[in-house]
Structure 1
Amino acid sequence: MKRVLPLALVVLGSIASLIAYFAKDTFLLCVPVDWDDDIPWTERDSVAESRGMVATEFDNTRRAFPVVGATCRATVSPIIDGDGNTGPSYRGAVDVVNGPLTAAVVAGLAVAVLGLVAYVWSLSRSTSTASRGSTVDLPDRQDILASLESRLDVLEAIDLATEWRTDVFHIIEAAPDPAAARRSLRELLQVSESGANAVLAMQLRRLTTSERGALRADVEALRHEHRQLSGRPPDDR
């Protein structure tokens, strides 16, 4: 919606300018004067009458800018040449600028330019917002993945320990110290050091049937969430 209004201004302004530019002028009056002389406007009517100038004509074929509303051609009384032929004697012509049409063209172009500027500004703002969003979101996503991987590492180690609980008990019971027990657990379960530490700190209630079921559900849920964030296929473990 924010981009529709600027585009509408561009279209409407352009159409208004074209209509004003090509509109025919039928309202301007051509004052019959002799354009060869510099005659004040207040005296042109009387001077034109004294010189025998007749009605002028419109010419709307020219559309220069500022908008030429009409071309006025002034004539004098018919003259007779040497062969007896008569005809008008043209004393000059002048292009009359139509102020209202010119102003309408300028106003339409101004509206179109304003709409175009607003449209370009909205595009640049959207691009800038998207760029800032991608810059901020990327570290957040990586942090979430790292946190999920850390939790998954611990829960998977505990889940394995509940499955291999008999061997885990024997290793811990036979180990001379926690460091030795940690090394043996890593070799048996193929887990990280943090996973082995989690097994050593595991509470015995984890071995109950309900706790083991809840633990497996947590592991599957974390795996599913990790696959979604990392973009891996659903069946990829």
Structure 2
Amino acid sequence: MNHGFTDPSRCPSGPSAAERISTERSSPAGHRPPVPSGRTVPEKQFGAFLVAATLSGEEQLVVTNQELANRTGLGTETVSEVMSFVDRASLVNKSPGKFHVTETGWAIAEMYQQDETQARLLLQEQFLACSSVTDPVIEALHDAPVPQELLAQRLQERFSCKGRRALYLLDWLVLALVVRRDSSKRISPSVALSATAGAARRSEAPAPVPEPGALMGMTNRELRALPPLQYIAVLDNVADLVSLASA
């Protein structure tokens, strides 16, 4: 399905390449904490992103923070912090004082007008790919379900952030279907987050060390348990290897 991704060969004439922000990151994301602004609630932050995507459009036009502030009624400092956070999730590309929406960001904003759930699933993919956010959350949810306030306190300590920024991060992660919040405001990892954590653990697990005396990767006990024909095939393979080595 076409989610509105820009085809560069069909882009209308507009700002020159020099007037666009480079698609490369303007500064390392690791120099700022991976938490959203604490200046306004996440609902308004996401709304600001949707307005930002509309202003930038499919053509990925450059928009200034001041333009977005004028359209949303938020302060420029608030806008800057909001754009820094969604930049981390690759929804926009941000540089000092300005930004443009990414292809993925535009696709999510466009889909949100048609199918909110599908847009949230697209948003989920972006956050799951952001290990600087998800790794600490997975660690903090080791004894899930965790009361929201306690989890926010753990993340506040982990990210060395103040105010409600950790709570607001949880609101973003609920929106992105990365975590689940029940009626008692307890937080659990989503199936997708648990699967991501499991895959990461498997990739980090050391390769199994063959047992001493193993032949063709099998121990003596495993060899003796083979059916006769398979046992003969293994011996034939060993004989072939020996003949190749001595050739």
Q: Same fold (TM over 0.5)?
A: no
Between Structure 1 and Structure 2, the one with more helix by share is 1
Larger-Rg structure:
1
